[in-house]
Every structure is written in structure tokens, then in C-alpha cells.
Amino acid sequence: MMDENYNFGFLDERTKKMIRRALLKAVAIPGYQVSFGSREMPFAYGWGTGGVQITASIIGQEDVLKVIDQGADDTTNAVNIRRFFARTTGVATTEKTTQASIIQTRHRIPEAALTEAQTLVYQVPMPEPLFRLEPRRSETITMHALAEYGLMNVKLYEDIAQLGTISKTYDYPVLVNERYLTSPSPIPKFDNPKMHMNPALQLFGAGREKRIYAIPPYTAVRSLDFEDHPFEVQRWDHACALCGSGDSFLDEMIVDDAGSRLFVCSDSDYCGERREAGHVGTQQAVQMSNALTVQGNAT
């Protein structure tokens, strides 16, 4: 039940209004990082303070909230954040992607397609996609203003020249609406294509770095690549051991000390729905041997 000692959603109404104004600006300029007066929250920085502030500012009594971390509803930080909102708002929570009106996420986009009625709130540690190349925000602000992204293209090119492939596997930079270079947050690049023309509103909150940005519904999101090295996503040699899905992002678990690995869906709701619908995986762990002796699938 709702804790009456705090305002609905913990934040005071003036703060929510300030954040909603920042959100409106962010939606109006897709991919642009709007600075905002991030509040100190009863969560540690780096643990979702930005996402929590956005959710607190947009949530209403009719909303149904889902919180995931690494794709799963039952990871400790997701549990903690979901409880926080249950306690400070009393709104209904769910683990079903299709039933949620707001989904707060860390590191994944759900496998199930989202709809226009849904909002996806990302927790963002580092909103600045250029920070590893230029740590000074006073410099990157200018680079964004001039759409001067040569630094990132050179970095990706150098990866290909040195490794034969782009070494970014998560937080893979995207160009939003063909204008702003944007961090998708540390989602695996596997999820990047889901951002493109998504019917749902995508909001990004970085509390410690005090930035908010957004991808409005049906906005073009392009993962950076080259004509001769097109963007591609991870593929597994295995299917989910529980539900048999061959299209989802798989978590790998070490099940014994002989090198056996179990591959299962990272999206726990997706996996559960498939099993309920009668899909079954092999229920088997697989043996992984030394990669240097394995002919890997080099796609």
C-alpha cells in the first residue's frame, strides 16, 4: 500500500514539473541531451536515479509499472525499484510486458514488440556517447551542436582496421533522427534495431550526470556503420534451453566446473510466455571447449 508520508511518486510536484518540462524539450529535439536539476534520491547514484526520477514524474494512478534489470523482473535492483514505486504510488505492478504502460529498464529492451500506449524508461549511466573519446562535457556540447562526429567514426574505423570488427558490443552509438549521436544506454547492440521506428515513447534518464533525452515514437534510429561493414547483431549457436527460442538474447550460465554452460533467455517474461504457450527447449546445458580450438561462427 502507498506510504502516506511521501508525495505520490516521492518527488514533490514542482520537481516533477521541472522534469516534465525537460522531457518535453527532449521529445522535441530527439536524441539531444537536456540538462536538468537532478535530485538526490534515496537510491545510490549509478543504480537508476535518472530512470526513477523520470518514472516518478510521469507515473499516474492508472499506470501499470514493470521494472526490469538485465531483461528480468526478479533481479534485486529491479525488485527494489518496483517496491519503491509500489510503496510511494500504490500503482499496480506487473511482470508482463504486454500489460505494462510504463516499463523501466536497465540494459535491455523487452523482446515483445511495444505499442503506442507504452513508455520505455531507460536508466542511463553515461548519457554522453563521446565520453570515452572526449571526457570534457564542455567540449562535447560543441561537437553535438556542430554535429561533428568524426571522432566516433574514426574510432569505429580503427576498430575494423585493428580487429577486423567493431569492438562495441553494448552501448553501441546510434544517430537519432539523422541528427544527434546518442547513447542507447548499455543495452546490447542486439537491441539497437528495436529502437528504430518503435511505436513506444523512449525516455532516457541519467541522474548522476543530470541529463535527460528521448526518442519519440516512430523516430529513425540508425546504428553507426560503414557500407562495407554493415551493422549486425549478436547471434548464438544455441537456442534457449528453457523455451527453445532461437531469436532472443541469451544469458549464459556456468552450471558446473567442467565448462558446461546453460543458455537461457535474458527476458524472463518472454521466456515464461513461450513456455506457457507450449514451447520447450532442450533443457540441456552445453559443453563449451577452448575457443581457440573451436571453429567459431564468424558472423
Partner 1 sequence: MYVSVKGGAAAIEASWRLLAEQRRGDTTLGELSVAQIQSQLSLAVDRVMSEGSLYDPELAALAIKQASGDLTEAIFLLRAYRTTLPRFGYSQPINTAQMLLTRRVSATFKDVPGGQVLGATHDYTQRLLDFALLADGEQPASDDAPVQATGPMPADMPRVNDLMAREGLMETPQPMSHAEPGDLTREPLMFPANRALRLQALARGDEGWLLALGYSTQRGYANAHPFAGEIRRGHVSVELVPDELGFAIDIGDMEVTECQMINQFAGNREVPPQFTQGYGLAFGGSERKSMAMALVDRALRSRELGEPLVAPAQDEEFVLSHSDSLESSGFVQHLKLPHYVDFQSELELVRKLRAAHASERQAPPQKEAA
In whole angstroms, give the CA distance from residue 48 to residue 106. 8
83 sits near partner 1 (criterion: CB under 8 A): yes
Residues in contact with partner 1, shown as a per-residue x/- string from 236 to 275 under the rule CB under 8 A: x-----x------xxxxx-x------x-x-x---------
Q: Which of 24, 46, 199, 259 binds partner 1 (CB under 8 A)?
A: 46
Single out the residue of 107, 71, 131 nearest to residue 186, CA to CA: 107
Please say if 271 is a catalytic residue: yes
Q: Which of residues 114-153 bind partner 1 (CB under 8 A)?
A: 125, 136-138
Q: Is 294 in the site for partner 1 (CB under 8 A)?
A: yes
User: CB of 11: closest distance to partner 1 in angstroms?
Assistant: 9
Query: Which sign, positive or negative, has the C-alpha torsion 107, 262, 283, 291?
Result: positive
Nearer to partner 1, 6 or 177 (CB): 6
The reply to whether 243 belongs to the active site is yes
Q: Of 163, 258, 276, 277, which lies in the binding site for partner 1, with binding defined by CB under 8 A? A: 163
Torsion of CA 147, 207, 126, 100, to 10 degrees: -90
- State the Cα–Cα distance between residues 102 and 218, nearest whole angstrom: 17
Q: How many residues form the binding site for partner 1 (CB under 8 A)? A: 74
Beta carbon of residue 260, minimum distance to partner 1 (angstroms, whole number): 12
| Contact residue for partner 1 among 189, 194, 238, 274 (CB under 8 A) | 189
Q: With the C-alpha atoms ordered 221, 226, 227, 228, is the resulting torsion angle positive or negative? A: negative
Which range binds partner 1 by CB under 8 A, 24-32, 74-82, 94-102, 113-121? 74-82
Catalytically annotated residue among 31, 50, 207, 281: 31
Q: Does position 94 bind partner 1 by CB under 8 A?
A: no
Let me know: does 2 contact 89? Beta carbons within 8 Å: yes
Distance CA 102, CA 99 (A): 9
* The one-letter amino acid at 299: T
Residue whose grid cell is 544506454: 185
